[in-house]
Amino acid sequence: MALSDKCREFNASIDSLKAANQFFYLRQFDPAASPVVTMDGRKLIMLGSNNYLGLATHPRVVEATVRALEEYGTGACSSRVLTGTTSLHNRLERKLAEFKGMEAAVVFSTGFMTMMGTISAMTEEGDVVLSDEFNHASIVEGCRLTGAEVKVYKHNDMASLEEGLAECDASSDKLIVTDGVFSMKGTLGNLPGIKKLADRFGASIMIDDAHGTGTIGATGRGTLEYFDMEGQIDFVCGTFSKSLGTIGGFTASTREVVSYLKLRSRPFIFSASPTPSSMATVLACLEVIDEEPELIKKLGKNTDFLREGLSEAGFSLEPTVTPIIPILVGDEEKTFLMAGGLEDEGVIVNPVVSPAVPKEGSLIRVSMMASLENADLQKALDKFKLVGGRLGLI
Ligand SMILES: Cc1ncc(COP(=O)(O)O)c(C=O)c1O
């Protein structure tokens, strides 16, 4: 069989999904991270972007980015280790460490590389990584690359984690990895429970706070601020591709760990430095988060409005404290029909089906933005009622 034969077979299966209106991927939106986007010449309300605080289009952030582009050009054109580090990269690393209450931080070119590159550099043969079954693919990839033994524990299940820890050789170094906010359902990792077990068994903890950063905690510092646990976790990671308006990611930890990662993590060493303008974007986002706290409040208000409206209408929602609203449909075909029906009515949402969640847990994932107007949210709620009613979901 030629290597490309599998592509033909795969593409044929995608074509049949498209024919059944069950393919909602790789579409074109202009601009992608705005409250209202254009798709195929139509205007639609965007409830599927992770631009939670609306900072990707915030005038102050855009201006800072343009200024950096003019001053630094479009790329650093080298690895960070060689000639790709600018004062913007170093300034941002200091700022992120301060923002997360840690000694130091290192910036990677994507969030995916952050998780993959931190886990694989920090652990090796003889160590054990304990990973939540619903952790993001970037963590799974880090687990595939490490020489350590990997134990997957049941989602947020402390008895399962305890069992895994108890099985470990007492002398092995152990690392527990969890999402701070689980991306599909918006639920929180059980950080207090994990910390108790980590202390008991002498394990380190790594949190991927991709979706918590900027969205939860009184000042948007994330899941650890929410749980009042800042400074109690060994590795605090995150991405710039959600609340922080661009692409890139970071790991914050001790000075020792950060210096080590900068010379041992292969995705950091062997990939080009993230663009200086992206560093300026994140610096500006962090300033706005501190200086315009009303954005976090607006994000909460918008989320509460839609969550309460959907719940009152009779939709089945899992309770969350994040801007991700998971609407349980429980059937894959109906989930696609719901997403398609909403799209026809002018609302974009993400259908989430197996293998991202179990089949009976199929859901519509709404992600809120602070920049959405009340009128658009009311319109979206009306469309949810209309389409949900037609499908017998309410
Ligand atoms: C929890 C989590 N971690 C890591 C990533 C990867 O980040 P990025 O898309 O910025 O590479 C994502 C992105 O979807 C995510 O949701």
Minimum-distance ligand 1 atom for the alpha carbon of 242? 10
- Is the Cβ atom of 208 under 6 angstroms away from ligand 1? yes
Residue 167 in tokens: 């099985």
**Cβ(293)–Cβ(214) below 8 Å:** no
Name which residue sits closest to atom 9 of ligand 1, judged by CA: 111
Residues 6+ apart with CB under 8 A from 381: 305, 306, 309, 310, 313
**3-class DSSP state for residue 56?**
helix
If asked whether residues 330 and 282 sit together in one domain, one would say: no
In a domain, 244, yes or no: yes
> Residue 345 is part of which domain span?
21-50+293-390
Residue 384 in tokens: 């949810």
If asked whether residues 136 and 236 sit together in one domain, one would say: yes
Name which residue sits closest to atom 7 of ligand 1, judged by CA: 111
If asked whether residues 181 and 319 sit together in one domain, one would say: no
Q: How far apart are CA 366 and CA 50, in angstroms?
A: 10
Q: Is cis: bond before 355, omega within 30 of 0? A: yes
- Is the Cβ atom of 115 under 6 angstroms away from ligand 1? yes
- Is the Cβ atom of 179 under 6 angstroms away from ligand 1? yes
- Is the Cβ atom of 210 under 6 angstroms away from ligand 1? yes
- Compute the distance from residue 208 Cα to the ligand 1 centre, in Å: 9
Q: In total, how many domains does the chain have?
A: 2
If asked whether residues 138 and 257 sit together in one domain, one would say: yes
Beta bridge partners of 347: 45
- Compute the distance from residue 112 Cα to the ligand 1 centre, in Å: 6
Residues 6+ apart with CB under 8 A from 69: 277
Minimum-distance ligand 1 atom for the alpha carbon of 138? 4
pLDDT of residue 6: 94
Q: Does the reported pTM lie above 0.85?
A: yes
Distance (Å) of CA 353 to CA 23, 48, 184, 291: 11, 15, 10, 39
Q: Which of 258, 262, 276 is nearest to 82 (CA)?
A: 262
Q: Which of 274, 246, 111 is nearest to 183 (CA)?
A: 111
If asked whether residues 337 and 280 sit together in one domain, one would say: no
**Cβ(313)–Cβ(271) below 8 Å:** no
The pLDDT > 90 percentage for the chain reads 96
**Cβ(367)–Cβ(320) below 8 Å:** no
Tokens 């449909």: give the residue: 329
- Compute the distance from residue 1 Cα to the ligand 1 centre, in Å: 35
Task: Read off the CATH number of the domain in which 216 is found.
Answer: 3.40.640.10
If asked whether residues 313 and 384 sit together in one domain, one would say: yes
If asked whether residues 153 and 255 sit together in one domain, one would say: yes
pLDDT of residue 349: 98
pLDDT of residue 319: 87
For the stretch 23-59, pLDDT in tens is 999 999 999 999 999 999 999 999 999 999 999 999 9
The residues annotated as belonging to the active site are 183, 211, 242
Q: Which of 291, 322, 339 is the last residue of a domain?
A: 291
Angle formed at CA 356 by CA 333 and CA 385, multiple of 5 degrees: 45
Beta bridge partners of 37: 44
**Cβ(189)–Cβ(179) below 8 Å:** yes
- Is the Cβ atom of 138 under 6 angstroms away from ligand 1? yes
- Compute the distance from residue 138 Cα to the ligand 1 centre, in Å: 7
Q: Which of 262, 291, 320 is the last residue of a domain?
A: 291
Q: Which of 278, 223, 293, 274 is nearest to 246 (CA)?
A: 278
**Residue 178: CB atoms within 10 Å:** 27
If asked whether residues 163 and 221 sit together in one domain, one would say: yes
Residues of the chain with pLDDT below 70 are: none
- Is the Cβ atom of 111 under 6 angstroms away from ligand 1? yes
Instruction: Show the beta-strand stretches assigned E in 180-323.
Output: 204-208, 235-239, 249-253, 316-317
- Compute the distance from residue 393 Cα to the ligand 1 centre, in Å: 30
If asked whether residues 265 and 375 sit together in one domain, one would say: no
If asked whether residues 29 and 167 sit together in one domain, one would say: no
**3-class DSSP state for residue 214?**
coil
pLDDT of residue 57: 96
For the stretch 78-118, pLDDT in tens is 999 999 999 999 999 999 999 999 999 999 999 999 999 99
- Is the Cβ atom of 213 under 6 angstroms away from ligand 1? no
- Is the Cβ atom of 112 under 6 angstroms away from ligand 1? yes
- Compute the distance from residue 358 Cα to the ligand 1 centre, in Å: 20
If asked whether residues 126 and 68 sit together in one domain, one would say: yes
If asked whether residues 71 and 219 sit together in one domain, one would say: yes
Task: Read off the CATH number of the domain in which 333 is found.
Answer: 3.90.1150.10
In a domain, 14, yes or no: no
In a domain, 6, yes or no: no
